């Protein structure tokens, strides 16, 4: 289990990754007919660090906003993570090729792999 200090360090390490993902966001169209990603953020839950997207719903949707997963990093050990992506089925899917990877490997995968691109 990651300690508070480790979680703070990991959160800080992933700030540039989140900022890079935010730069890929497109402006909201003037006539917004569909939900549109407006933000990317990180959060912890237990031993998992999540990178999520915040969506603004279309004008006729009563919800207003909702969050959707993008990447989940399970803290495995010091500078080792298991990486998963959020499938269209609503489930997290761990990737065997991204088991026990370093921060640098996780960063590269999140910024380059198509399954981790912002919508």
Residue 4: predicted pLDDT? 95
Q: Quick one: pLDDT band at residue 30, thresholds 50, 70, 90?
A: confident
How is residue 91 annotated by DSSP?
S
Residue range 62-82, pLDDT digits in tens: 778 999 999 999 999 988 999
Give 56: exposed, middle or buried? Use CB within 10 Å, 0-12, 13-18, 19+: middle
Q: Quick one: pLDDT band at residue 28, thresholds 50, 70, 90?
A: confident
Residue 97: predicted pLDDT? 94
pTM recorded for the entire structure: 0.92
What average pLDDT does the segment 99-117 reach?
96
For tokens 């700030």, the residue is 15
CB-based contacts of 118: which residues, under 8 Å, 6+ apart? 21, 22, 24, 25, 37, 40, 53, 70
């Amino acid at each position: 289990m990651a300690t508070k200090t480790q979680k703070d360090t990991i959160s800080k390490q992933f700030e540039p990754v989140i900022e890079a993902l935010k730069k890929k966001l497109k402006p909201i169209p003037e006539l917004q007919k569909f939900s549109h990603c407006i933000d990317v953020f990180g959060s912890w839950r237990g031993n998992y660090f999540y990178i999520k997207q915040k969506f603004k719903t279309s004008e006729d949707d009563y919800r207003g906003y909702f969050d959707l997963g993008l990447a989940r990093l399970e803290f495995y050990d010091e500078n080792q993570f298991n990486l998963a992506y959020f499938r269209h089925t609503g489930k997290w899917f761990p990737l065997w090729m991204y088991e026990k990877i370093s921060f640098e490997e996780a960063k590269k995968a999140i910024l380059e792999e198509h399954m981790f691109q912002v919508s």
